[in-house]
Amino acid sequence: PEQKAWSQRFESALHPVINRFNASIHFDMELIEYDLTGSIAHAKMLAHTGIIKVLEAEQLISGLEQIRQEYRQGNFKPGIESEDVHFAVEYRLVEIVGDVGKQLHTARSRNDQVGTDIRLYLREQIQQIRQQLRSLQTVLTNIAEDNLETLIPGYTHLQRAQPLSLAHHFLAYFHMIQRDWERLKDVYTRTNISPLGCGALAGTTFPINCHYSANLLDFDDVYQNSLDGVSDRDFVVEFLCAASLIMVHLSRLSEEIILWASDEFKFVTLKDRCATGSSIMPQKKNPDVPELVRGKTGRVFGHLQAMLVVMKGLPLAYNKDLQEDKECLFDGVITVKSCLEAMTILLQEGLEFRHERLNTAVLEDFSNATDVADYLATKGVPFREAYSLVGKAVKNSIAAGKLLKDLTIEEWKELHPGFAEDIYEAISPRQVVSARNSHGGTGFTQIKQAIIKIRQQLATS
């Protein structure tokens, strides 16, 4: 356009730097398909209510569809002079269909328009991310199923605590991701509400039917208050919060994989397809994928924080500050999607568990100490007393350079007469894991049941 839509109100043209500063076209073109879809629904509503003629609506719609074709073919590239995607579409529409194009913005503002676009965009992204979460859950469950009998040291404070089934460890992540999946479902319900018809802030003088356009766009509901409708970005904050928690979960898993791949742990080997090398150290094989996921987590948290700060001081209703929602949201979406994708591939085909090393690791520590205390407690020794006795045994064993499994039966009996030969079986790692058969525990029976339940859950939702 040679002139802005609003140029008649002004004496002079915009300062070129301010023009650039004000524009959002360089990032909000991401919304163009949704903007076109929203405009088509608006045009249909205008015809349906008799605000414009059916023939006029048809011209608008064919012009909008032509823009869609042009865009998809790479032939619609509006520049900074168009300010934002909404004006870019409107200017092009008038070029294509002539003066009738100037009817499109009847009973609408860019404020309810952009609110509509961003919701249409986000609800689609939410569904895609939920699909990705499901794929990740399937991979986590497969790993669990393949590793029911693989043992791994369990840690608290990153100190050896009690041995676990590796399956139990991965199913913990399954459940975290399940909450993410449910959270996004919930965010979706508050995203899928139409603000179209709220106008600039106060509604409109035209006899519109906002339910009609909402219905065409598959929104579940419409806003009950126009001021709220045009200025609400709670759903963006909620999405970024849900995305942040997804990143927390991916980052924790990343941290573990990075540790496991180190020479200190040696629990996994990274397969070549998912690992990277060094420019100077010839021997290196680096876990760049989980490191990047851990690193990108900060960006998503940053976007959440940025959105909260954008919102906190805003008087009703629309303020240009809200234009800042887009880069936060778009980058949040791209980041979480790329991390889910990479992480799923890494888990599916990038890790080789070192079963030998995992199963022997649990033999070389005192992580069966609780089980010795439990053993005595079942023989009638009050738990706290049993615990103290075993603490002493641990201290003496460390001094003697032994493990609990190396104590002779005489040494056990000296510690407490209640010990018998079956103590050796009771403290073997496999038995230690197997015995934790309480609900949600690492016992093999528990995990088998958990996997059956999870498989059903994945099949039915």
- Given the rule CB under 6 A, which residues bind ligand ARG? 24, 28, 84, 86, 110-111, 114, 318, 320, 322-323
Nearer to ligand ARG, 236 or 423 (CB): 236
User: In whole angstroms, how close is the CB of 436 to ligand ARG at the nearest point?
Assistant: 54
CA–CA separation, 414 and 408 (whole Å)? 10
Nearer to ligand ARG, 26 or 284 (CB): 26
202 contacts 226 by C-beta, under 8 angstroms = yes
Residues 6+ positions from 27 with CB-CB distance below 8 Å: 326, 327, 330
Residues shown for the chain: 461
Tokens of 442: 């690492």
Half-sphere exposure of 368 (CA within 13 A, CB side): 24
Nearer to ligand ARG, 111 or 335 (CB): 111
User: In whole angstroms, how close is the CB of 345 to ligand ARG at the nearest point?
Assistant: 35
User: In whole angstroms, how close is the CB of 209 to ligand ARG at the nearest point?
Assistant: 23
394 contacts 403 by C-beta, under 8 angstroms = no
User: In whole angstroms, how close is the CB of 435 to ligand ARG at the nearest point?
Assistant: 60
Nearer to ligand ARG, 114 or 311 (CB): 114
136 contacts 177 by C-beta, under 8 angstroms = yes
Give the H or E element holding residue 150.
none
**Cβ neighbours of 401 (radius 10 Å):** 7
Tokens of 128: 């895609």
User: In whole angstroms, how close is the CB of 85 to ligand ARG at the nearest point?
Assistant: 7
* Beta strands per DSSP E along 101-256: 151-156, 159-165, 193-194, 221-222
User: In whole angstroms, how close is the CB of 349 to ligand ARG at the nearest point?
Assistant: 41
CA trace torsion 25, 29, 32, 35 (10° rounding): -40
User: In whole angstroms, how close is the CB of 256 to ligand ARG at the nearest point?
Assistant: 40
Give the H or E element holding residue 193.
strand 193-194
DSSP code string of 108-125? --HHHHHHHHHHHHHHHH
Residue whose entry in the numeric block shows the structure tokens 């009950």: 224
163 contacts 429 by C-beta, under 8 angstroms = yes
Nearer to ligand ARG, 84 or 90 (CB): 84
- Helix 54-72 and helix 32-48, axial crossing angle in degrees, nearest 10: 170
Residues with active-site annotation: 157, 278
Nearer to ligand ARG, 22 or 431 (CB): 22
Nearer to ligand ARG, 84 or 371 (CB): 84
User: What is the three-class DSSP state of 419?
Assistant: coil
Residue whose entry in the numeric block shows the structure tokens 């301010």: 18
User: In whole angstroms, how close is the CB of 113 to ligand ARG at the nearest point?
Assistant: 7
Residues 6+ positions from 133 with CB-CB distance below 8 Å: 177, 180, 181, 184, 246, 340
Tokens of 184: 């996004």
Nearer to ligand ARG, 86 or 168 (CB): 86
